[in-house]
Amino acid sequence: MYNTLYAKIQEEFDRIADTFIEKEIDVLADESLITIQSKYNLYDIQPYFAQLANEVLGPDAKLTIESEDDFDPETDDLYEYKINFESRKTYLKREHYGGGVFYSTLYEYTDEYHKSFSVYQNKETVKATNLSYLYLKNGMPDQFIECTEYGISLKSYTCENGIIKNYKLEWPEHNHHCIGELTFDTKRNLEMITETASDGRVRILFDATVSTKNIEEVLAQLETFLVENIADQILEKVKIEEPVYCILFEYTMQGPFPPTIAFGITSEIEGNFEDKELYELYNAPDMQYFSENDYPNSINIDFYPIDIQPNYLITTSYGENIPWQDEEACGIWEKQVFDTYLRVCKRLMHFDFSKSFTKTENFLVMARDFERCNENDFYQNMLQYKINNKY
């Protein structure tokens, strides 16, 4: 049954671009629909779409744009909605990027399902990006099927007493699934969403309590975790026979925590160490012992203990809420992240890792934003720190 349904949905996805404009024109011409504008993505048919993406608005957020004071074209996103005010249903959502470029989503509703189909549009192109069906059972979500250019996924819900208790997320073309668990307070407000993968890994996708922490407190907790917990894991889990010249953390400002971790070994260096450029020495994907590698030299360091995961959500959300046009605010945030990693590197230099590997004379604990390639900034700081402390 599912294979037939998946085939139909895939076929429909492949045809979206052929009919989208015609359907969009009909919606735009519908005089029963009102237009509202917002800085925010306010709607989708997938239950708890905002929480799943960790993009929940604060209680004081102004949802609609009603005057010039509500919108800054230099820093704010712009969404436009066509809504039936009586039924409270959305029939069109557009995210504007300027210059005639936007993402558009049309919505259809029946008693059996809600449907959305999305495209990328510019002056010359209409390209399908998403087709989704939310199937209902007794008025509650039963299944959510999503099709993109990368394939199809199926989410099956279990509901009790009018709320979603859990779901199973599957990818028909892959031998992998996740079980999602939703936790509510006594007033039925969603408190947390966790997903447990088929390999046992647990991820917190949403935690309603994280907004109560300030960013300095969060960074301090992350620093402690990356020093104490990761050092313990290295001593317990890492065994490298060759001399090691660095421990390297890599991150990106799009999601600065958690980082990846790699260990540089001497056999990876051809020629003299001193003659190498820094990017040749400190680039995690080039290293054999890299936490993203499954084979042959896997590094089984767990960056996802349950207690620390909410801090990852906070730092990602904090960075995303800084307008990229605000260079001063972006610079301050980048320095806060840089300084946190620098303190981690300095503190780890004091640990005795002889149980796990032998250090070379050039050994450093390093970090690097792999998009900004700021390894020189870390290197100069760490080299001076090593000299000052006579390592």
Q: Does the pLDDT at position 212 exceed 70?
A: no
Query: Which of 158, 190, 208 is a domain's end point?
Result: 208
Helical spans, DSSP H, in 121-277: 215-224, 230-237
Neighbour-count burial of 88, counting CB atoms closer than 10 A to its CB (0-12 exposed, 13-18 middle, 19+ buried)? exposed
| pLDDT for residue 15 | 94
Q: What is the mean pLDDT of the chain?
A: 94
For 366, the token pair is: 């390093």
Residues 59 and 82 occupy one common structural domain = yes
Q: Please identify, among 208, 231, 252, the residue that sits at the C-terminal boundary of a domain.
A: 208
pLDDT of residue 1: 58
First to last CA, the chain: 66
**Same domain? 332 vs 372:** yes
Q: Looking at residue 377, what is its pLDDT?
A: 97
Residues 184 and 217 in one domain: no
Which of these, 254, 263, 225, lies nearest to 364 by C-alpha position?
263
What is the pLDDT at residue 213?
A: 78
- Predicted confidence band of residue 324 (pLDDT cuts 50, 70, 90): confident
pLDDT at site 326: 85
> How high is the pLDDT of residue 322?
87
Question: Residue 211 above 80 pLDDT?
Answer: no
- 202 with 216, same domain: the answer is no
Report the C-alpha gap between 239 and 267 in whole angstroms: 16
In this structure, are 236 and 159 located in the same domain? no
pLDDT digits (tens, 9 = 90+) for 357-378: 999 999 999 999 999 999 999 9
Task: Indicate whether 27 pLDDT > 90.
Answer: yes
Q: Are residues 132 and 184 in the same domain?
A: yes
Q: How far apart are CA 221 and CA 139, in angstroms?
A: 43
As a whole number of angstroms, the distance between CA 35 and CA 80 comes to 7
Instruction: Please tell me whether residues 175 and 217 are part of one structural domain.
Output: no
Clarify whether residues 168 and 218 are in a common domain.
Answer: no
Q: Examine the pLDDT at 67 and tell me if it is beyond 80.
A: yes
Helices (H), the chain: 2-29, 49-52, 215-224, 230-237, 278-281, 309-320, 327-348, 375-388
Percent of the chain with pLDDT over 70: 98
Same domain, 204 and 234: no
Residues 224 and 344 in one domain: yes
CA 146 to chain centre: 18
pTM of whole model > 0.75? yes
Q: Tell me which residue of 178, 215, 233 sits closest to 313, measured CA to CA.
A: 215
Q: Sheet harboring 202-207: ordered strands across?
A: 33-38, 78-84, 89-98, 101-109, 113-121, 126-137, 140-148, 151-160, 163-170, 177-184, 190-197, 202-207
| Cis previous bond, 310, omega within 30 | no
Q: Does the pLDDT value for residue 2 go beyond 80? A: no
Q: Which residue range(s) make up the domain with 304?
A: 211-388
Domain check: are 128 and 164 in the same one? yes
**Token code pair at residue 328:** 């001063």
What average pLDDT does this structure show over 167-177? 92
Residue 145 tokens read as 């099927």
Last residue of some domain: 166, 189, 208? 208
Q: Please determine, for residue 297, whether its predicted confidence score (pLDDT) is greater than 80.
A: no
Q: Domain count for the chain, please give it.
A: 2
Do 40 and 189 fall within a single domain? Answer: yes
Of residues 74 and 118, more confidence is placed in 118
Question: Are 82 and 105 spatial neighbours (Cβ–Cβ below 8 Å)?
Answer: no
More confident residue, 390 or 27: 27
